[in-house]
């Protein structure tokens, strides 16, 4: 490995193990220095290929740095830094180590130039992020963590199978554009594994199942890495795959529909991750330079505003202990700063002009327009209205305003106060990033994979967006009564493994058990147990008659020999000396006369 | 009492806020209809985008459609009580 190149992912993964040995201020400093150093490392990196080693006759490339991997690495390491600031007050080393390992894994995937190193970091992400769910430490979190891990282990196995098939067919492990292998089994398996991590329905139910159960600070990391590293590998491997256009557009709407029904604040936001990743997947599918730029830019902007939104909802959860919308309300009086910062994230995700979502989302939508994909254009625009409806209106309304503002003297007041300062600082930094991206799009676009002369702020775009947003708000206020959150959960494809597994357990406990004890057990006894017992009986007899009696014979022989020799052990030194002298003389005689 | 609290809790001020919201909507529609015609510099990708106040119209329709359709699907099919998969705080061994 080139000593001049330090892998930012390994820096985080190995550096994380320093934290348990530090205390107090030193630990907090290390928590900031590690992701800060990784960020600087990424920012200083110039395009090129680094960290090439050879394994199994294949080149393993740990550092493929080009414009695409670099921009993802910037935002991944920046988010690791923001997340660590947000988690600075948490006294739980396991969480910090898991979070940094997770971030390191995402950077590893980003810089991986071959399938082997990609796979290793891919699995590392699955395991470390499952830890962040388990560390929620509630019974429901542990169960959700197991479901999360099982789904990702399944996805990892699909990926591994795909890689092995691809390797055996092409003889190469290099990871690049897969278009040449389109339609093959290896291609399909790898694509499926990537889509699973991007939470594309019907493979995406793990996301809203697990994310709301993660720890307050852990969830911030989870929103960024798994789905967006999947978007990165899709851009890298599958640009222009038509299937993705429709999957992405459907996904954008699917997330919005579920968000209408959702009552858990963080799960509602989780469904909007699926919706937003839909835009990126769609952009990858369209595959033009504008669309790929849009998918990349949207991933970048999304990571920042979604983290900000999860930070806001997490702050409310931490300070009030409430996660369900039907139990919240009126918090704007006690948590005005949190509200303000949350709203910046809400405006950014809703693509309000001057916020980051506006300059990134419109690239994907315009790309659909340029390719004359009318239906996709309409679907994405509709999902956009849904995004503002939920993240910008419904969630803040029920969380921060709600009953108290509308109906004075409603149910008991929800007690709350502003979260610790470090959480507010992290939110403020994310908010500044959301605004900067929206105000200075040219600077942002310069780092995209392709050259871009796209202009987001045209008269039509801006007036269109304002009209759409304000009339979505009108629709919201008119239908407000029908939107009251209800204490329910929604069926999703996780039904198949949550209910399906119950059915499987019944099958196992009923018919399979009977089959086992009744039929298989009988055969086993007849075919194996009895012959084995018969042989064992014969062996036992052999053992007791021959082996044992020979051992007894040896014992008896030793004893009688001992009796014979007993008189020689007189306990007097001169006798022993005499015997030794005789022995030495006998030896000397033997040597002298025999040789 | 903070500024926001005064605006929301006082019925007179709240009514005024509401009025400003509706005025704002009207302005937005006017701007969307008039400005592109005055400057007509942009080109639209699809003919339907040239419909007057297309953004406002489609935004409103989308919002209502999303709420109504999702709620219907939810009521008929997807929404279940919270203990649908068993109470998460109890042992599931039976």
Residues A495-522 pLDDT 10s? 888 877 777 778 777 888 888 777 888 8
Checking DSSP bridges between strand B79-81 and strand A488-490, what pairing results, if any? antiparallel
CA distance, residue B16 to nearest chain A CA (Å):
15
pLDDT in tens, A516-568: 777 888 888 888 888 899 999 999 998 888 888 888 989 999 999 888 888 77
Largest CA distance in chain A: 124
In angstroms, the CA A172 to CA A169 distance is 8
pLDDT in tens, B18-77: 899 999 999 999 988 888 777 765 667 888 888 888 899 999 999 999 999 998 888 888
Return the residue in B62, B64, B81 with the most chain A beta carbons within 10 A, the one to mutate for interface testing: B62
Taking the C-alpha atoms of A508, A512, A513 and A519 in order, what is their torsion angle to the nearest 10 degrees? -170
Taking the CA of residue B29 and the nearest CA in chain A, the distance in Å comes to: 6
pLDDT score recorded for residue A506: 80
pLDDT of residue A410: 46
pLDDT tens-digit profile of A331-362?
888 899 999 999 999 999 999 999 999 999 99
> What is the SS3 string spanning A43-67?
HHCCCEEEEEEEECCEEEEEEEECH
**Residue B40 backbone phi and psi in degrees, to 5:** 5, 65
**Interchain proximity B66–A386, CB inside 8 Å:** yes
DSSP 8-state assignment for residue A413: P
pLDDT at A27: 93
Q: Say which residue the tokens 């993964």 belong to.
A: A13
- pLDDT for B93 equals 43
A510 φ, ψ (degrees, to nearest 5): -90, -100
Nearest-CA distance B94 → chain A (Å): 10
For residue A371, how many C-alpha atoms fall within 13 Å in the half-sphere facing its CB? 21
Q: What is the mean pLDDT of residues A119-128?
A: 96
Do A290 and A370 touch, CB atoms closer than 8 A? yes
Q: Average pLDDT, whole number, for chain A?
A: 91
Contacting residues of A for B60, CB less than 8 Å apart: 471-472, 474-475
Top-confidence range, A20-34, A390-404, B68-82: A20-34
Complex ipTM value: 0.88
Query: Would you call B90 helix, strand, or coil by DSSP?
Result: coil
CB contact under 8 A, A332 and B81: no
Q: Give me the total of CB pairs closer than 8 Å, taking one residue from chain A and one from chain B.
A: 166
Q: Where are the alpha helices (DSSP H) in A198-335?
A: 206-210, 216-237, 242-261, 265-286, 289-320
Q: What is the pLDDT of residue A432?
A: 97
Tokens of A385: 């209205």
Whole-angstrom CA distances from A60 to A68, A238, A246, A278, A551 are 19, 21, 34, 31, 61
- In this predicted model, which residue has the larger pLDDT, A412 or A574? A574
Q: Taking Cα atoms as reference points, which of A95, A70, A75, A90 lies closest to residue A16?
A: A95
Instruction: Tell me phi and psi for residue A264, to 5 degrees.
Output: -80, 125
> Which B residues in the span 22-81 are in contact with A, Cβ-Cβ below 8 Å?
24-25, 28-29, 31-32, 35-36, 39, 41-42, 44-46, 49, 53-60, 62-71, 73-74, 77-81
Residue with tokens 């199942």: A209
Q: Which of A408, A463, A487 sits opposite B55 (nearest CB)?
A: A463
Of the residues B15, B46, B55, B90, the best mutation for testing chain A's interface (the one with the most A CB atoms within 10 Å of its CB) is B55
Q: Could you give the percent of chain A with pLDDT greater than 90? A: 70
CA distance B34 to A460: 11
Q: Is B85 on the interface with A (CB under 8 A)?
A: yes
Peptide bond into A58 cis (omega under 30): no
d(CA A351, CA A348): 5
Please check whether residue A482 touches B, CB under 8 A: yes
| Nearest residue, CB atoms, B55 vs list A143, A465, A473 | A465
CB contact under 8 A, A460 and B36: yes
Beta strands B79-81 and A48-55, pairing class: unpaired
pLDDT score for A405: 41
Report which of residues B87 and A162 the model is more confident about: A162
- The C-alpha atoms of residue A317 and residue A320 are separated, in whole angstroms, by 5
CB–CB contact A260 B74 (8 Å)? yes
Chain A hits for B24, CB-CB cut-off 8 Å, are: 470
Cα distance between residue A104 and residue A498, in whole Å: 31
More confident residue, A494 or B61: B61
Q: Which of A149, A142, A145 shows the shortest CA–CA distance to A125?
A: A149
Tens of pLDDT, residue by residue over A426-460, are: 999 999 999 999 999 999 999 999 998 899 998 88
| Residue A65: C-alpha distances to residues A9, A68, A232 (Å) | 13, 8, 13
Nearest to A308 by CA among A280, A272, A334, A258: A272
Tell me the DSSP string of A432-450.
HHHHHHHH-HHHHHTTSSS
């Amino acid at each position: 490995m080139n000593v001049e190149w330090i892998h930012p992912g390994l820096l985080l993964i190995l550096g994380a193990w320093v934290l348990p040995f530090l205390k107090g201020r030193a630990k907090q400093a290390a928590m900031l220095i590690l992701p800060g150093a990784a960020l600087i490392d990424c920012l200083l990196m110039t395009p090129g290929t680094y960290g090439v080693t050879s394994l199994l006759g294949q080149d393993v490339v740990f550092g493929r740095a080009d414009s695409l991997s670099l921009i993802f690495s910037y935002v991944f390491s920046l988010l690791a830094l923001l997340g660590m600031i947000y988690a600075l007050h948490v006294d739980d080393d396991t969480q910090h180590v898991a979070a940094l390992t997770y971030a390191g894994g995402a950077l590893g995937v980003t810089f991986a130039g071959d399938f082997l190193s990609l796979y290793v970091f891919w699995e590392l992400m699955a395991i470390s992020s499952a830890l962040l769910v388990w560390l929620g430490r509630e019974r429901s979190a542990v169960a959700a963590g197991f479901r999360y891990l099982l789904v990702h282990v399944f996805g990892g196995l699909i990926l591994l199978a795909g890689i092995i098939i691809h390797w055996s067919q092409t003889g190469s492990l290099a990871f690049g554009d897969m278009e040449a292998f389109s339609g093959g089994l290896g291609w399909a398996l790898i694509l499926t594994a990537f889509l699973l991590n991007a939470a594309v329905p019907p493979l995406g139910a793990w996301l809203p199942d697990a994310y709301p159960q993660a720890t307050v600070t852990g969830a911030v990391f989870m929103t960024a890495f798994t789905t967006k590293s999947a978007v990165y590998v899709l851009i890298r491997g599958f640009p222009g795959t038509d299937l993705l256009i429709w999957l992405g557009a459907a996904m954008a709407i699917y997330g919005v529909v579920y968000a209408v029904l959702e009552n858990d604040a963080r799960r509602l936001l989780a469904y909007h991750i699926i919706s937003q990743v839909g835009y990126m997947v769609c952009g990858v599918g369209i595959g033009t330079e504008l669309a790929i730029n849009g998918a990349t830019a949207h991933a970048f902007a999304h990571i920042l505003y979604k983290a900000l939104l999860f930070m806001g909802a997490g702050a409310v959860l931490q300070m009030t202990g409430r996660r369900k919308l039907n139990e919240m309300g009126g918090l704007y009086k006690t948590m005005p700063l949190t509200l303000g910062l949350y709203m910046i994230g809400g405006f950014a995700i809703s693509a309000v002009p001057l916020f980051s979502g506006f300059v990134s989302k419109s690239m994907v939508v315009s790309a659909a327009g340029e390719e004359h994909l009318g239906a996709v254009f309409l679907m994405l625009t509709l999902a956009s209205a849904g995004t503002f409806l939920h993240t910008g209106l419904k969630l803040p309304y029920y969380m921060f305003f709600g009953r108290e503002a509308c109906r004075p003297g409603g149910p008991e007041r929800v007690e709350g106060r502003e979260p610790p300062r470090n959480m507010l600082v992290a939110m403020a930094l994310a908010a500044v990033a959301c605004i900067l991206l929206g105000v200075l799009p040219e600077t942002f676009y310069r780092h995209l994979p392709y050259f871009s002369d796209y202009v987001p702020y045209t008269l039509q775009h801006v007036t269109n967006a304002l009209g759409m947003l304000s009339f979505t708000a009108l629709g919201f206020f008119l239908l407000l009564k029908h939107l009251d959150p209800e204490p329910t959960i929604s069926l999703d494809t996780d039904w198949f493994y949550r209910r399906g597994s119950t059915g499987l357990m019944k099958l196992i406990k009923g018919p399979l058990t009977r089959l086992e004890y009744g039929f298989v057990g009988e055969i086993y006894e007849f075919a194996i147990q009895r012959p084995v017992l018969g042989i064992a009986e014969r062996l036992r007899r052999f053992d007791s008659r021959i082996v044992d009696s020979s051992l007894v014979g040896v014992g008896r022989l030793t004893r009688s020999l001992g009796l014979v020799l007993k008189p020689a052990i007189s306990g007097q030194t001169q006798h022993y000396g005499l015997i030794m002298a005789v022995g030495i003389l006998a030896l000397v005689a033997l040597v002298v006369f025999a040789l | 009492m903070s500024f926001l609290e005064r605006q929301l809790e006082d019925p007179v001020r709240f009514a005024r806020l509401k009025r400003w919201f509706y005025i704002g909507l009207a302005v937005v529609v006017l701007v969307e209809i008039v400005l592109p015609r005055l400057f007509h510099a942009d080109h639209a990708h699809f003919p339907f985008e040239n419909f007057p106040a297309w953004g406002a119209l489609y935004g409103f329709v989308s919002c209502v459609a999303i709420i109504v359709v999702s709620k219907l699907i939810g009521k008929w099919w997807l929404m279940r009580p919270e203990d649908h998969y068993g109470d998460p705080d109890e042992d599931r061994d039976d």
